[in-house]
Amino acid sequence: MDDPTLAARYRTLRRDLHQYPEPAWCEFYTTSRLIDELERREIDKLRYGSAIHATEGRRNVPDDTTLTEWRQRAREAGANDDVLETIGDGVTGAVAVVERGDGPTIALRVDIDALPITEADSDDHQPTAAGFRSTNEGYMHACGHDAHATIGLGVLDRVLGSDFTGTFKLILQPAEETISGGKSIADSGVLDDVDALLAPHIGLDHPSGEVVAGIDEFLAVRQFEATFRGESAHAGARPEAGDNAVQAMAAAVQNLYGLSRNSAGGTRVNAGRVGGGTASNIVPEEAFIEGEVRGETTDLMEYMWDRAEDVLAGAATMHNCEVTIERLGDAPSAHSDAALVEVVDRVARRTTGVDTVVASDSLGGSEDATYLMQRVHQRGGLAAYLGVGTDHPGGHHTPTFDVEAQDIAVGIDLLAGVIADLAADVSAGNADAA
């Protein structure tokens, strides 16, 4: 990308998004800001709100107080009131459609939500030094979704400026971090006519200049919240009258991490957020674990889940507590199709700024893009998940994560190139590729 004006525009956009990180289903400012951008462009259809969600089945939607608080923040940050009206119940995100005659329907999915992490404030952290550190204290774009959204807009610009024939859909997906938005978008049907779905991710421990043409081995994941309920009591005067929910929770944490490894493949377990009790002198009546299990296959994830249920039940029994277990989200496994990966590989090798092309890699984590990929596969389309390297100083989901600006440009060039080639292949009668 050689146009300095464009580069500056994308940098501004990304930095703006970075300053207003919003958690899953609360991307009110982000959605409004992106819709502003979209409305300035000549797109054929712009859809958002309940039109792009299967609202019945939405998971992990925050309570009204939280939604209200974030709507308020968005308003103060300058979000559009009309947009807020439409998306205010947490139906965030948007879909933009460009229709250019006969040709394949190609979708690009980027995710837009942020994480509950406090951003580093040291001067060697670029966003701090350059003045675009998070203004929503305690929240941060620590996984690069600000870059993803920017890439989405950039690719849209390139499609608009090209002789592309066919249909292009830009999917701005909310709520990826809680594994909730992907299923909601997929179930809404907006992807049902898609021939080829591309989903990029920045970083993933790959350096600047490296592209991964096809990513596989998405860990299947299930997130849950377990709530232990016992009986409170005065911890000095009558401790024996209590049934200690924090003891039950701690026993569960100790033994959840101790679930046996499995020789059939990698597994994961995390008690990522826990809490319990009210004051130091009260035997805790209630405690919770917000956690997850994962597996390299769905079977491995289910193995972990079965065992986790035993641990949670046993921990409650130990301390005469009740436990209720709520499933918060799942994501299946999925695969990148070889025919699409081949095109990405080919285009990457000719893209400026790309030094190395890795044919394939495993994700190691989970992604609810797999819901979208699954949906496209079920309808006979193809899907690929690909990686664009960047020299990120801190790991994903840490306070010092950051993205190099030029790698956003590489991502735009790469994806624009892939879309062009896919459309051209179809014109050339190469039906296999898409």
- Cβ-contact 331, 179 below 8 angstroms: yes
What residues from 263 to 282 belong to the interface with a second copy (CB under 8 A)?
263-264, 266-282
On the 0-12 / 13-18 / 19+ scale of CB atoms within 10 A, 342 is: middle
Binding region for a second copy (CB under 8 A) out of 105-113, 157-165, 249-257, 350-358: 249-257
- Cβ-contact 113, 23 below 8 angstroms: yes
Binding region for a second copy (CB under 8 A) out of 86-94, 208-216, 312-320, 383-391: 312-320
- Cβ-contact 89, 58 below 8 angstroms: no
Token pair 């990513």 is found at 215
- Exactly one of 154, 284, 387, 389 binds a second copy (CB under 8 A); that residue is 284
On the 0-12 / 13-18 / 19+ scale of CB atoms within 10 A, 357 is: middle
- Exactly one of 4, 236, 380, 429 binds a second copy (CB under 8 A); that residue is 236
361 binds a second copy (CB under 8 A): no
- Cβ-contact 244, 257 below 8 angstroms: no
Give the integer Cα–Cα distance in Å for 20 and 404: 18
Task: Tell whether 143 is in a known binding site.
Answer: yes
424 binds a second copy (CB under 8 A): no
257 binds a second copy (CB under 8 A): yes
122 binds a second copy (CB under 8 A): no
115 binds a second copy (CB under 8 A): yes
Give the integer Cα–Cα distance in Å for 193 and 342: 22
What residues from 160 to 219 belong to the interface with a second copy (CB under 8 A)?
177-178, 204-205, 219
Name the nearest CA neighbour of 221 among 305, 294, 157: 294
Give the integer Cα–Cα distance in Å for 33 and 18: 12
What residues from 49 to 108 belong to the interface with a second copy (CB under 8 A)?
none
Token pair 């979209």 is found at 38
In the complex, minimum distance from the CB of residue 302 to a second copy, in angstroms, rounded to a whole number? 12
249 binds a second copy (CB under 8 A): yes
314 binds a second copy (CB under 8 A): yes
Instruction: Go through 239-253 and write b for each residue having 16 or more CB atoms within 10 A of its CB, e for each that does not.
Output: eeebbbbbbbbbbbb
Task: Tell whether 201 is in a known binding site.
Answer: yes
What residues from 364 to 383 belong to the interface with a second copy (CB under 8 A)?
364-366
In the complex, minimum distance from the CB of residue 140 to a second copy, in angstroms, rounded to a whole number? 10
In the complex, minimum distance from the CB of residue 75 to a second copy, in angstroms, rounded to a whole number? 20
Partners of residue 222 on adjacent β-strands: 293, 330
Binding region for a second copy (CB under 8 A) out of 84-92, 104-112, 158-166, 224-232: 224-232
Number of residues that bind a second copy (CB under 8 A): 86
In the complex, minimum distance from the CB of residue 388 to a second copy, in angstroms, rounded to a whole number? 16
Give the integer Cα–Cα distance in Å for 58 and 185: 9
Nearer to a second copy, 84 or 235 (CB): 235
CA dihedral 349, 351, 353, 357 (to 10 degrees): -30
- Exactly one of 86, 262, 298, 406 binds a second copy (CB under 8 A); that residue is 262
290 binds a second copy (CB under 8 A): yes
Give the integer Cα–Cα distance in Å for 331 and 368: 5
In the complex, minimum distance from the CB of residue 58 to a second copy, in angstroms, rounded to a whole number? 17
Residues in the annotated binding site for Mn(2+)? 143, 145, 177, 201, 397
